[in-house]
Structure 1
Amino acid sequence: MTDKKKLIGEERRAQILSWLQSEDMPLTGGDLAERARVSRQVIVGDITLLKARGVPIIATSQGYMYATPPEEASIERIVACFHPPDRTKEELLLLVDLGVLVKDVKIEHPVYGDLTASIMVSNRKEALRFLEKVNETNAAYLSELTEGVHLHTLSAKDEATLDEAEQALREAGFLLEA
């Protein structure tokens, strides 16, 4: 390990981009910091600079990912949901089990306006990891600020999958309808 040197500036940002592009799973700021031999805060700054240059990096609850274009076109739909925090696991697993990517959660806050948080879970393993991180950090769900009312951006390979997901949300009592 003594032969590894600290990466500097543009060299570090190029290496961060390379690491993100070569991984299928998110990399945490801590992991990137360890690899680059800098602080996590330096990595946060580097990610911000890369994003400002238009590099498609997304921050998820599991870490940073390079947003590669999907191999096949995906369809998106925003759905309005309502449930207490203790049903979040049920909601996420219902969606990912149907082959849906849950991209984010959005709320309308009375002071800050629209707030969006990236979730980016598409299978049980990712969903359970997300829920575990929320539990470990004792974080509140964004929807707790609006008494359970929230939006999700869902993505799937076709309209039929999104229709099925929306119907499953309706049957489970999650869908907020007029």
Structure 2
Amino acid sequence: MKDGIKRRREILKILKSNKSPVSATKFAERFGVSRQSIVGDVALLRAAGENIIAMPRGYVLERSSARITSKIAVQHDRDQAEEELRTIVEAGGEIVDVIVEHPLYGELVGGLHIRTQKDVDSFIKNYHSSKAVFLSELTDGIHLHTIAYDTKRDLAKITQALSEKGIMYEEKE
């Protein structure tokens, strides 16, 4: 059996047994290969039908959830990004992804899977250290989020809190 096949089986086994994300760097250290080799392994696993999600903190295996999901339209500048994420999490939501409309590529989706305030802290820390820009900066701050929540009351609480902070997107006349 080739080393790559064996390594991919082990990666899948590790992801199945972990609820927390595992970084490509951790996998690379464990298997004594480059981080890029792991990225390639994950790409091959995905192409084979495995539902592996790349999060800012690493890879996780997508698990089915009983939570309800909806898309919300928001608009803010980069200084309100952390406030937006914290507001959603505080109100009982998970930020599954961010979606923007790009003039060349169409819909661009970035997976987030932010569930806790610790996740928000980690995401914001990664943002500052990476010198990257938010996808929403491509669209004058207008973007969508898929959010997951437990009850319709949670959704109302989330949208109300975002509206009060001026973050919910509202049509300008």
Provide the TM-score with structure 2 as the length reference: 0.94
Task: State the distance in 1 between where 2:72 and 2:96 align.
Answer: 11
Listed as ranges, the matches of 1:98-177 within 5 Å are: 98-177=91-170
Task: State the distance in 2 between where 1:130 and 1:25 align.
Answer: 15
User: What displacement does 1:177 show?
Assistant: 2.1
Deviations 1:36-60 (A, max 9, x none): 1111111111101111111111001
Quote the residue 2:48 is aligned against.
53
Tell me which amino acid in the other structure corresponds to 1:129: S
Which residue of 7, 21, 43 corresponds with 1:26?
A: 21
Which residue of 70, 81, 106 corresponds with 2:74?
A: 81
Deviations 1:10-37 (A, max 9, x none): 1100100111122221111111111111
Tell me which amino acid in the other structure corresponds to 2:112: I
Q: Which runs of 5+ in 2 are unaligned?
A: none
Task: State the distance in 2 between where 1:12 and 1:19 align.
Answer: 10
User: What displacement does 1:151 show?
Assistant: 0.5
- Secondary structure in structure 1 of the residue aligned to 2:155: helix
Question: Is residue 12 from structure 1 mapped to residue 7 from structure 2 by the alignment?
Answer: yes
Q: Which runs of 5+ in 1 are unaligned?
A: 1-6
Quote the residue 1:3 is aligned against.
none
State whether residues 106 and 152 of structure 1, in contact with CA within 8 Å, keep that contact through their aligned partners in structure 2. yes
- Secondary structure in structure 1 of the residue aligned to 2:89: helix
Tell me which amino acid in the other structure corresponds to 1:105: V
Question: Is residue 38 from structure 1 mapped to residue 38 from structure 2 by the alignment?
Answer: no
> What's the % identity of the aligned pairs?
39
Task: State the distance in 1 between where 2:75 and 2:168 align.
Answer: 6
Provide the TM-score with structure 1 as the length reference: 0.92
User: What displacement does 1:148 show?
Assistant: 0.6
Tell me which amino acid in the other structure corresponds to 1:82: Q
Deviations 1:108-155 (A, max 9, x none): 011221111011101100111011001101110010111111100000
